Chains A and B, each alone.
Chain A
């Protein structure tokens, strides 16, 4: 059974904040519903990008309905942020700890984020002006809190697609290209000290 917690997202068009809910455990049905809601919007946006000969987001092919079967296993957990009855962002976590790579926490249990995505209408590269801002940060906060609840000290890690590296570099340490990763992506990690600053809303 999932629980919901209030959070806030920014509405750039009105320069205002709106209340949303973090859902801490999504079901397979939730992911299928989100996919069905997102897919047509993403397709339309991709058509526009194609016509304008502009690059597509690197994760354009992600299909959360296919990721849903991961939730049959205890090893995965999916969280989302809902506003106006629609999922504004999704995050798939691996609940099996990975070893921390930052020197200060080498070998310590760290929560790994498998996938994190904002709804297509919240992506600047797809729609110009996003409907909501802050979805990614709210999801990162949720990952940090979950990591603390799991006894991982708030430590989180992930591999980033090149287009998202700038976002993660704001909050996490870039540990460089991972030669062992199947796509040779860069690995980012947030350590205990960064977690403290992150949750206080400040950059270290």
Chain B
């Protein structure tokens, strides 16, 4: 099925460390580097939208009974 979205190409400048992180995520998740970047953008926009509406983002460790708000600079 052809994808309706027109794709545009850009050059992404990353540091060695950032590139290693991207490559590591790509291997871990079995996704292409482009797919990892797309996932990150979708997630970032979703989180930004929810935070903008006054919602909060938490990480919870049920075993340790810890819950911490993730403070994001947006």
> A142 vs B6: C-alpha distance in the bound complex, in angstroms?
19
| Interface contact B39-A3, CB-CB below 8 Å | no
Given contacts A151-B31, A151-B32, contact A97 B2 (CB under 8 A): no
Q: Which stretch, B9-17, B43-51, B65-73, touches the partner chain A?
A: B43-51
| Interface contact B31-A149, CB-CB below 8 Å | no
| Residues in B neighbouring A109, C-beta threshold 8 A | 29-31, 35, 39
The residue in chain B whose Cβ has the minimal distance to the Cβ of A3 is B4
Partner of A22, one of B1, B30, B42: B1
| Residues in B neighbouring A22, C-beta threshold 8 A | 1
Within the complex, what minimum Cβ distance (angstroms) separates A195 from chain B?
Answer: 14
- A/B pair count, beta carbons within 8 Å: 59
Q: B57 at the A/B interface (Cβ < 8 Å)?
A: no
Q: Which 10 A-B pairs have the closest CB atoms?
A: A3-B4, A2-B4, A151-B35, A75-B46, A74-B42, A25-B4, A145-B1, A75-B42, A3-B2, A151-B31
Binding site for A on B (CB under 8 A): 1-6, 29-32, 35, 38-39, 41-43, 45-46, 49
23 contacting pairs across A/B (C-beta < 8 A): A1-B6, A3-B1, A3-B3, A3-B4, A25-B4, A73-B45, A73-B46, A74-B41, A75-B42, A75-B43, A95-B38, A95-B42, A96-B42, A97-B31, A109-B30, A109-B31, A145-B1, A150-B35, A150-B38, A151-B30, A151-B31, A152-B31, A153-B30
Q: A1-B5, A2-B4, A5-B2 are in contact. List 14 more A-B contacts (CB 8 A).
A: A3-B2, A3-B3, A24-B1, A73-B42, A73-B46, A74-B41, A75-B45, A96-B39, A97-B29, A97-B31, A97-B39, A108-B29, A150-B38, A151-B35
